[in-house]
Amino acid sequence: MDSTMRGTIEMTAAMTIIGTIGWFVVMSGQPVMDVVFWRCAFGAVALLITCAALGLLRGRLTLRILAIAALGGAAIVINWLLLFSAFSRASISIATAVYNTQPFMLVGFGALFFGERLTLTKLTWLGIAFAGMLLIVQTGPDAGSGIVGTDYVTGIVMALGAAFFWAVAAIVAKKLKGTPPHLIALIQVCVGVVMLAPFANLSHLPADSWSWAMLVTLGVVHTGLVYILMYGAIQKLPTHLQGSLSFIYPVVAILVDVIAFGHRLHPAQLVGAAAILIAAAGMNLGWTLWKSKTPVESPQAVK
């Protein structure tokens, strides 16, 4: 099996697993703060074993690397808190679709901090994604979903906030070029444990094995295993293939929401979600709508 095929299998597996994360979060029956804490804790154990096995713990860390990785870790943890909170307010499908506005957050950061440019085509993708967002917001929740309008809008705002903090973490990660990604991930989840320990409900732990199984899976599988698969794939695949395979995640998440929880999107919501995902794909993969002779001053998407 050549490296590209192996990388494709690894990335497909990673994105499929991540697509199921909403089900595990909901089925754990635990408060979001506790879910993220235990995800970090069990993920730290899995990643510590991985880093030790790969020999990544010997003489690689400096105070600068620790500080930058910790900043990214704080952003990642806030990202998880917001996204998981959005699931119960706007549904897994809608929250995931909105969360995939991440490339446009990176575009904004590129404009503000790196002086990057955005072509007219990329501005058009941004406009398409924004139109999709408006369709989702204006449609509102399904009458039988148990979600009220205020919660729905709050969930969408939380998903947008999660995308923002993911973009912060991605920008921070650019400062860690050359540092093994498994080691960065280990530092990030350790930061999460320290951040959330004062707020997690550690005096009243889950009493049933089902909840523990969900939490362990979120840490070991959705964090440890996914990082290993994803970073292994990134080393083997060209950027355009990485970007295209990453859209397995939202598709799986929407299917899980439909199959497991019976959430059906209204036609307008389907159109809105599709618009966001297509625009994000266009931004990530560099699709061109037309040839633009004069670029518009602003950023280019950070890969």
Mean pLDDT for all residues in the chain? 87
pLDDT tens per residue, range 231-252? 888 888 887 788 788 889 999 9
User: What secondary structure, in 3-state letters, does the chain show?
Assistant: CCHHHHHHHHHHHHHHHHHCHHHHHHHHCCCHHHHHHHHHHHHHHHHHHHHHHCCCCCCCCCHHHHHHHHHHHHHHHHHHHHHHHHHHHHCHHHHHHHHCCHHHHHHHHHHHHCCCCECHHHHHHHHHHHHHHHHHHHHCCCCCCCCCHHHHHHHHHHHHHHHHHHHHHHHHHHHHCCCCHHHHHHHHHHHHHHHHCCCCCCCCCCCCHHHHHHHHHHHHHHHHHHHHHHHHHHCCCCHHHHHHHCCHHHHHHHHHHHHHHCCCCCHHHHHHHHHHHHHHHHHHHCCCCCCCCCCECCCCCCC
pLDDT band at residue 290 under the 50/70/90 scheme:
low
pLDDT band at residue 50 under the 50/70/90 scheme:
very high
Mean pLDDT over 12-29 rounds to 96
- The answer on pLDDT for 146 being more than 70 is no
pLDDT band at residue 85 under the 50/70/90 scheme:
very high
> What is the per-residue pLDDT for 117?
77
Reported pTM: 0.87
